[in-house]
């Protein structure tokens, strides 16, 4: 039986866009694109999400190799919460209903420690019964350890959980440790797939 619902944060609970953020704060498009190529890469984002060093040190190391982007980096640090645009449409209402139905709700996200600025802004995070954040654990999805941290911390059985994330690779990481998953597109699609899985597990 399904008892626990696990949610990624970005593009599941809240909507964000680095591309829109950069365009909004760096009006010179050529400079904007050049900055994004340096600071919006998978490598940089993983370093931020894992946060084995303080954020300022990570940014400083990259800036040392690209000193011409000092003004943009200061803008990035000062306006970081603007990356998130709003809660994902329909998700707060859905989580409220699911919680009322008796499901426990948990967060599992790859995000730097600045995530707490975002969490303070949006009420949807108050619905969660617990959370695991990559920067606090120094491991990232889809590494198996981050899923196990979630299970161990809250006493969860993987087979009683459903995880949703906007990236298939992270869903597959959850499946490798025994947790079913749904690749998130929107609230309606998520609920439809969720109800099907729950119905199929009613006799478990």
pLDDT tens for each residue of 75-104: 998 999 999 999 999 999 999 999 999 999
The pLDDT-based confidence of 121 (bands split at 50, 70, 90) is very high
Q: What is the pLDDT of residue 201?
A: 82
Average pLDDT of 188-197?
98
Q: Are residues 183 and 134 in the same domain?
A: yes
Q: How far apart are CA 92 and CA 203, in angstroms?
A: 29
Residue where a domain terminates, one of 38, 57, 83: 83
- What does the mean pLDDT of the chain come to? 95
Mean pLDDT, range 54-60, rounded to an integer: 93
> Do residues 96 and 183 both lie within one domain?
yes
Average pLDDT over residues 20-37: 92
Q: Does 91 lie in the same domain as 75?
A: no
**One domain, residues 122 and 56:** no
Q: Which domain holds residue 58?
A: 17-83
Q: Are strands 161-165 and 4-7 parallel, antiparallel or unpaired?
A: parallel
Instruction: Say whether both 173 and 92 belong to one domain.
Output: yes
Based on the fold, state whether residues 111 and 22 are members of the same structural domain. no
Number of domains composing the chain: 2
99 and 193 belong to one structural domain: yes
Among the candidates 47, 62, 83, a domain finishes at 83
Task: State percent of the chain over pLDDT 90.
Answer: 92
**Which element (helix H / strand E) includes 37?**
helix 29-39
End residue of a domain, out of 26, 51, 83: 83
- Shared domain for 142 and 104, answered yes or no, is yes
Regarding whether 129 and 91 lie in a shared domain, the answer is yes
What CATH number corresponds to the domain at position 189? 3.40.50.1000
- Is residue 105 domain-shared with residue 67, that is, in the same domain? no
Residues 75 and 105 in one domain: no
For 117-121, the CB contacts below 8 A with 24+ separation are: 117/80, 117/81, 118/9, 118/14, 118/81, 118/84, 121/81, 121/84
Regarding whether 169 and 124 lie in a shared domain, the answer is: yes
CA-to-CA separations, 168 to 59, 81, 188, in angstroms, rounded:
28, 26, 18
Interatomic CA distance for residues 53 and 109, integer angstroms: 18
């Amino acid at each position: 039986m399904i008892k626990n619902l696990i949610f990624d944060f970005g593009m599941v609970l809240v909507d964000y866009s680095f591309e829109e953020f950069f365009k909004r704060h760096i009006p010179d498009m050529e400079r904007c694109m050049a900055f994004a190529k340096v600071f919006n890469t998978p490598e940089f984002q993983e370093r931020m999400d894992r946060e084995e060093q303080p954020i300022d040190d990570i940014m400083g190391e990259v800036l040392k190799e690209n000193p011409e982007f000092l003004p943009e980096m200061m803008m990035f640090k000062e306006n970081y919460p603007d990356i998130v645009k709003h809660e994902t449409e329909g998700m707060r209402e859905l989580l409220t209903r699911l919680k009322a139905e008796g499901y426990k709700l948990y967060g599992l996200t790859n995000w730097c420690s600045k995530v707490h600025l975002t969490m303070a802004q949006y009420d949807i995070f108050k619905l969660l019964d617990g959370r695991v954040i990559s920067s606090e654990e120094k491991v990232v999805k889809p590494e198996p350890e981050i899923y196990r941290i979630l299970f161990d911390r809250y006493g969860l059985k993987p087979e009683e959980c459903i995880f949703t994330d906007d990236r298939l690779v992270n869903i597959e990481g959850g499946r490798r440790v025994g947790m079913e998953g749904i690749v998130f597109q929107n609230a309606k699609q998520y609920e439809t797939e969720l109800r099907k899985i729950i119905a199929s597990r009613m006799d478990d």
